[in-house]
Structure 1
Amino acid sequence: MQGNMVLNPDELGQDPAVGMDLAHALGVRHLEIRTAYNSNALTLDDARLREIRHLADERGLRVAALASPLWKWCRPEAAPGKVDSFGFPTQVPTEDRERWVHRALVVAGILGTDRVRVFSHLSVGEQTESFLDDPLLPYALKAAERAGIQLLLENEPVCTVAEPAPLLDVLREHTGLGLWLDLGNLYEVGHGTAQAVEELAPYVEYVHVKDYLPRNDGMKAFVAAGAGAVPYGELLPVLHRVRPGLPYALETHVRQSPGEALTRGAAFLRRTVPGGLA
């Protein structure tokens, strides 16, 4: 079964038409929406969201997923470190969170997707919240189910659930939750192995692909997928064997020549995922 390749237009800037045109040129028919017009998708008004949908429809593209920032937050009294939350606040009062869940479901509906990403609370020392026991999670899962949408948990290193064991605990406890597997993040936390991917694979509904080279200062130098340290040649065949037909969203985070990095990454994915990608 052949999977689909997905491209996020904001990798090329805040005018979504530019990234959509690259997707069309590369033969990529699916999009992931995170930010546009210098705003997080959750904070855009409905007219702007309909404009994004129209731009996609004009090019024969479909929105495969909403890369929302839900749960990439902490309470206002906590002090998060430097976190890329893509234009969304990282300190969110508990009483405001339910409203953001419902907004994400509305945004997904306007964009025409049935997948919404979530995270697992920012790690902020003693003030860190538990995602597994958060009462908002079962509430959100029920609301999403009513809307015909699935919430997918990304394994994010700055959040509380990033390694295989706690990921499996949450996914087994909350059966409506799927996994938005970021293979680069899995490698970053020391679990970029075939065994880890095989354990997680039954829960995977969506895949993020990005690559980097470790720098001497402990930071990451992002490169085109396949040109870095993440062992995709080992991991992608394992994932495909257990879960064929997945969407693979190509990230880059390469600041100079991101279009070139995405073009190279798309070619790499098509030749590395068994059976190729549409």
Structure 2
Amino acid sequence: MQGIIVLNPDELGQDPAVGMDVALSLGVGHLEIRTAYGSNALALDDEQLRGVRRLADERVLRVAALASPLWKWCRPEAVPGKVDCFGFPTQVPAEDRERWVDRALAVADILGTDRVRVFSHLSVGEQTETFRDDPLLTYALEAAKRAGVRLLLENEPVCTVAEPAPLLDVLREHTGLALWLDLGNLYEVGYGTAEAVEVLAPYVEYVHVKDYVPCDDGMKQFVAAGAGDVPYADLLPVLHRVRPVLPYALETHVRESPGDALTRGAMFLRGAVPGGLA
């Protein structure tokens, strides 16, 4: 069996049909859904979501994952820094959070996927919340299990769990949770090494692939996968050896010519992952 390439339509804009057609042109059969029609997927109504699903079904495309924003939040009294929130609030009252968990599971059901991304609370100084012992995580894992859904934790630098040691701590404590490994993020926090990937690999069930070149001002210039500084030649073979069949989702963040970046990224992945990707 081969792993698969996944494309997020919103990399091409907010009309999901455009990104889906690019997926078809690249021979990519799986989608990741994050936003559409100017809204986070969790805030779309059921009819809009069924419309996204119809567009995918018409093209014989399968939704591999819901890139939800769960836990990419802090309390209303905390003040987060600059965060890519993709149309979802970063300050969420505790009493609203369970409702958003339930909504994410309902959205996954409509889209026909059994993978839902979660984060680990935004880091906001002294007001930062703890993810591993959050009672909402226990609730979410139990609800996800009943729904036949797997919750996958992304290693996000602006959140509390981004480095290998805390990731392993959470994943060993909550065996129902798996890893949504963003290799670019791992490199950003200083652990873009074969050793780090090898220790995390047994927990990985989904992979984000993006690439960038650091700028002198501390910012990042995103480029097509394989054209930047993330050492994929070192990381991908290690990951494949431990987990030979995985979804690899292209997340370019390239603003100019994103279609070209996705085309180049798909070509790179098919050649860089041992055995190729479907």
Deviation, 1:152, is 0.2
Distance 2:256 2:7 in 1: 17
Distance 2:138 2:204 in 1: 19
Q: Structure 2: state its 5+ residue gaps.
A: none
Distance 1:125 1:202 in 2: 31
For 1:156, give the aligned amino acid.
E
Distance 2:54 2:258 in 1: 24
SS class of match (2:162) = coil
Distance 1:264 1:234 in 2: 19
Deviation, 1:208, is 0.1
Equivalent residue, structure 2, for 1:157? 157
Equivalent residue, structure 1, for 2:30? 30
Distance 1:168 1:15 in 2: 37
SS class of match (2:221) = strand
Deviation, 1:33, is 0.0
Equivalent residue, structure 2, for 1:256? 256
Instruction: Give the paired residue count.
Output: 278
SS class of match (2:24) = helix
Deviation, 1:227, is 0.1
Distance 1:273 1:138 in 2: 35
SS class of match (1:241) = helix
For 2:198, give the aligned amino acid.
E
Equivalent residue, structure 1, for 2:205? 205
Distance 1:81 1:231 in 2: 28
For 1:91, give the aligned amino acid.
Q
Kindly indicate whether residue 110 of structure 2 is the aligned counterpart of residue 110 of structure 1.
yes
1:156-177 Cα shifts (integer Å, max 9, x gaps): 0000000000000000000000
1:55-80 Cα shifts (integer Å, max 9, x gaps): 00011100000000000000000000
Runs of 4 or more, structure 1, over 3 Å off, are none
Distance 1:251 1:121 in 2: 21
After TM superposition, the score normalised by the length of structure 1 is 1.00
Deviation, 1:143, is 0.1
Q: Structure 1: state its 5+ residue gaps.
A: none
Distance 2:139 2:90 in 1: 21
For 1:204, give the aligned amino acid.
V
Identity, in percent, stands at 84
1:52-105 Cα shifts (integer Å, max 9, x gaps): 000000111000000000000000000001111100000000000000000000
Distance 1:79 1:257 in 2: 34
SS class of match (1:68) = coil
Distance 1:138 1:243 in 2: 26
Equivalent residue, structure 1, for 2:143? 143
After TM superposition, the score normalised by the length of structure 2 is 1.00
Equivalent residue, structure 2, for 1:236? 236
What aligned pairs does 1:1-278 form with structure 2 within 5 A after superposition?
Answer: 1-278=1-278
Distance 2:148 2:33 in 1: 18
Distance 1:21 1:245 in 2: 25
Distance 2:254 2:40 in 1: 20
RMSD of aligned Cα (Å)? 0.4
Deviation, 1:198, is 0.3
For 1:171, give the aligned amino acid.
L
